[in-house]
A and B are shown apart, each in its own frame.
Chain A
């Protein structure tokens, strides 16, 4: 499981082991300031990062920043 979370400290507190920081609380996988196609690109990128985290062996809580 990978947690795409807006508030990483909370994700850490609750024990998630694979964490991907999300964009913002009201739009964790989006950005309404961007034009539609760019926003979809951003979302795709974030989801790909989440999938990479799933494919990564971890021994402790890991935040996948960049």
Chain B
């Protein structure tokens, strides 16, 4: 007596669905019955246990140019088919397709509560955007990795379809979502840390429990010549803002930075300024904001001729759980403004 098959809906872009290339990149979503394109080997890998009942196809540009709306238009047909699992891609390194896969998975998961999974290359820009909300399986960076990707995706779809528990990233082969799972171990953190350190000192291999992300290196800027005629600007990630935080910079995960005019201001005082940073004890900065943004010191050095001028504006954001992406964005924009204003040097303060 055959068990009821779990139902799967698959998402593909216009290319993999065989509709066309870039000239078809702006087609709105359409539905095809059953498995299409890479869905066929996927269906084969699922065997008799699961069935791809429909394939949603959408143009990559249609999606990328209006992500939220496009994701919405995918949700409706998916819900009509009442699948047990929604699978998108694999997108490999295609950015728009990766975004479409991530966004439709995210929307289906949020709106329909259906388990979702997609797959892409580690450098796909969509990975960082959706890895927290969606299971994403690593693939090679091009369609040459299709044969390798399909069985991995099928295995995952199967687990979701059979309502099996998904284990940790290393065990089940997906990109870590940054979710910390608590568990009991027999040795304390201190013991594990010392053991790791001893291994490191002996040159033996060890396994970190917390992988640090890697960051970019920057080319050093040339030194400031003639400080006495230079314009120096202040920038801070310490969240020093006018009292009341008028631009509502968030206490954590700042979505913005702000620019404030300090012409004629010689000292930051609690009646006019405060900190809005949620990641450090604010009492000292609130009692004297110069402790984070050293305006009084800069004015003194301007007065005695050490520097030519303190730039009339300062820039602020909150460096508490700021996404690297946002931080890079803010930095770039602030740098451009300072450059356009012929600022010669910057003192950036961080808490």
A and B pair up: yes
B-binding residues in A (CB < 8 A): 1-7, 10-11, 13-18, 22, 25-30, 32, 40, 43-44, 46-48, 50-51, 54-60
User: Are A32 and B284 closer than 8 Å at their CB atoms?
Assistant: yes
Q: Choose from B222, B280, B349 the contact partner of A26 (Cβ within 8 Å).
A: B280
Residue of B with least CB distance to A7? B350
User: Are B301 and A2 closer than 8 Å at their CB atoms?
Assistant: no
Q: Across the A-B interface, how many residue pairs have beta carbons closer than 8 Å?
A: 121
User: Are A16 and B280 closer than 8 Å at their CB atoms?
Assistant: no
User: Are B301 and A27 closer than 8 Å at their CB atoms?
Assistant: no
Complex Cα spacing A22 to B280, Å: 14
User: Are A15 and B291 closer than 8 Å at their CB atoms?
Assistant: no
Residue of B with least CB distance to A44? B297
Assess whether B66 is interfacial by the CB under 8 Å rule. Answer: no
Given contacts A17-B221, A26-B282, A30-B290, contact A1 B348 (CB under 8 A): yes
A28 neighbours in B (Cβ, 8 Å): 238, 291-292, 349-351
Residue of B with least CB distance to A9? B212
Within 8 A of A (CB), among B262-295: 280-285, 287-288, 290-292, 294
Contact with A along B212-240 (1 / 0, CB 8 A): 10011110111111010000100000100
Q: Choose from B217, B223, B285, B347 the contact partner of A47 (Cβ within 8 Å).
A: B347
Q: Return 9 A-B CB contacts under 8 Å, by A number.
A: A13-B215, A15-B217, A28-B238, A29-B292, A43-B291, A43-B296, A47-B301, A51-B227, A60-B220
B212 neighbours in A (Cβ, 8 Å): 13
Given contacts A4-B347, A29-B349, A44-B301, contact A17 B224 (CB under 8 A): no
A51 neighbours in B (Cβ, 8 Å): 224, 227, 232, 301, 306-307, 345, 347
User: Are A43 and B218 closer than 8 Å at their CB atoms?
Assistant: no
User: Are B223 and A57 closer than 8 Å at their CB atoms?
Assistant: yes
A-binding residues in B (CB < 8 A): 212, 215-218, 220-225, 227, 232, 238, 280-285, 287-288, 290-292, 294, 296-298, 300-301, 306-307, 327, 345-351
B292 neighbours in A (Cβ, 8 Å): 27-30
Inter-chain pairs besides A2-B346, A54-B232, 9 sampled, C-beta below 8 Å: A13-B212, A25-B281, A28-B349, A29-B297, A47-B294, A50-B347, A51-B227, A54-B345, A55-B223
User: Are B285 and A1 closer than 8 Å at their CB atoms?
Assistant: no
Complex Cα spacing A17 to B217, Å: 9
B219 nearest CB across to chain A (Å):
8
User: Are A3 and B348 closer than 8 Å at their CB atoms?
Assistant: yes
Residue of A with least CB distance to B344? A54
A60 nearest CB across to chain B (Å):
7
A26 nearest CB across to chain B (Å):
5
Complex Cα spacing A15 to B292, Å: 21
User: Are B222 and A46 closer than 8 Å at their CB atoms?
Assistant: no
A17 nearest CB across to chain B (Å):
4
Complex Cα spacing A28 to B343, Å: 23
B225 neighbours in A (Cβ, 8 Å): 55
